[in-house]
Structure 1
Amino acid sequence: MPSRQPCTYILASQKQGMLYIGVSSDLAARIWQHRSGAAPGFTTQYRVYRLIHAEFFDDMAAAIAREKQLKRWHRPWKINLIEANNPDWDDLAVEWGIAEPLQKPSC
């Protein structure tokens, strides 16, 4: 998994949970920004931190075009895409070694 390559990615709050679609040229750094709260907004507010899908491209224009396409998709199409390659919605950032496992929130 290349970290410094244009990519489109999908984050989720949990399995079948809230989804966020983004684009980055440095996935590892972007995942850190989301998880650390350095990029406040939707993902921080709704705790959408699990990397569940990523697609890598040769150039940023292709990654941005794919991001725009995915954002127009209906939710069931996005879920089918995710589950085709990651049926258990595993956190790929942990599997690929670019992030530590998420801590369960304490009650």
Structure 2
Amino acid sequence: MAALYVLFSEKLNKYYVGACTNLERRLYEHDIGHSKFTSTGIPWILVYQETFDDLQAAKRRESQIKKMKSRKYIEVLISSVQ
């Protein structure tokens, strides 16, 4: 199983979009500063996720969201599950 996820940092007021095969481990890595970009926004909150059969499909979806270059698009995704 793979996941597409969206994190939010209140500190930075920014979203982060990523894809992985182990969401729990990846969230932990973000919150300990493992990633250079996300280390400045700790703590991160998981606000959205989608599951996929494989990492390739999750990365395609990640790319699709990032190509939108739109905070509004991400916020519509998040509101669709609440």
Go from structure 1 to structure 2 and tell me whether the alpha carbon gap of 1:64 and 1:40 turns closer, same or farther (over 3 Å shift). closer
Residue correspondences, number: 79
1-structure distance, mates of 2:57, 2:20:
11
Q: Distance in 1 between matches of 2:26 and 2:64?
A: 20
Per-residue CA deviation, residues 56-76 of structure 1 (Å, 9 max, x unaligned), is 001111101000001112211
TM-score, length basis structure 1: 0.68
Structure 2 segments unaligned to the other structure (5+ residues): none
- Pairs within 5 Å for 1:49-68: 49-68=44-63
CA shift for structure 1 position 42: 1.3
| Structure whose alpha-carbon radius of gyration is higher | 1
Displacement of 1:47: 2.5
Q: Percent identity?
A: 32
> TM-score, normalising length from structure 2?
0.87
Please give the secondary structure, in 2, of the residue aligned with 1:44: helix
Q: Secondary structure at the match of 1:85?
A: coil
Query: Which of 70, 85, 93 is the matching residue for 2:81?
Result: 85
For the residues of structure 2 that align with 1:32 and 1:46, how far apart are their CA atoms? 13
Higher relative contact order (CA 8 A, sep 6+): 2
Select the structure that is richer in strand.
2
RMSD between aligned residues: 1.3
Moved more, 49-58 or 70-79: 70-79
CA-to-aligned-CA distance 1:77-107 (integer Å, 9 cap, x gap): 1111111113xxxxxxxxxxxxxxxxxxxxx
* Alpha-carbon distance, 1:35 to partner: 0.8
Match of 2:21 in 1: 25
Q: d(CA) in 2 for partners of 1:24 and 1:13?
A: 19
- The Cα of 1:48 is off from its aligned counterpart by 5.5
The structure 1 residue matched to 2:3, chosen from 1, 4, 7, is 7
